[in-house]
A = this chain, B = another copy of it.
Amino acid sequence: MITRQEVNAARQKAANILAQTGVVINQAEIDRMEVVDFGLSELEISGAQILTLVDTDQIAAKLLVMLPYQTEPEHRHPRLGDYPGKEETIRCEWGELYLYGPGEPARSPKGRPPDHRRETYTVWHEYVLRPGDQVTFQPDTPHWFQGGPEGAVIWSFSTKVIDVQDIFTDPAIQRETVIVD
């Protein structure tokens, strides 16, 4: 749960970061940017600001703004009936992103999930993405990421998005953010 004021403040911070990237965004797009707290009510620790540019029955293209050290919690995009699940390429446009998936764990990972949720982060193979770097995850692959010291702007190019069906490792998470006045 977050307040309308928190949403507006996060959107403004995200807009300020986006303005540094050179990627052109309409005001109407800024105004509808989604601010997500994953139901954890600690937006600047666990959260994301998401601008959806394309969202059809087939594909999606999104810009995500991560505030400094803000973390998108570990999750995966599962198979749903005939749909094999969301395949996703994450490409860094600005800043630095600490991205984790399955594989050999990093010995000294740069990303630090919130201490009180540490056990809900299970994959530790590290990709440090800087502008122009990208990684593709097959459907149903657990992953999580965190913005670097200045935050990050990343592209998500993917197949069809069904966010509410995402499976998060942390059972406390609710994908739909509740906003209160």
Give A76-106 as 1s and 0s: 1 = Cβ < 8 Å from B's Cβ atoms: 0000000000010101111000000000000
Q: Does A162 contact B (CB under 8 A)?
A: no
A155 to B61: give the CA distance in the assembly, Å: 10
A133 to B26: give the CA distance in the assembly, Å: 8
Surface stretch bound by B, among A3-11, A52-60, A117-125: A52-60
Q: How many residues of A contact B (CB 8 A)?
A: 28
Contact B22 A54 (CB under 8 A): no
A25 to B26: give the CA distance in the assembly, Å: 22
Interface residues of A (CB under 8 A from B): 21-26, 29, 53-54, 56, 58-59, 61, 87, 89, 91-94, 131-134, 136, 155, 157-159
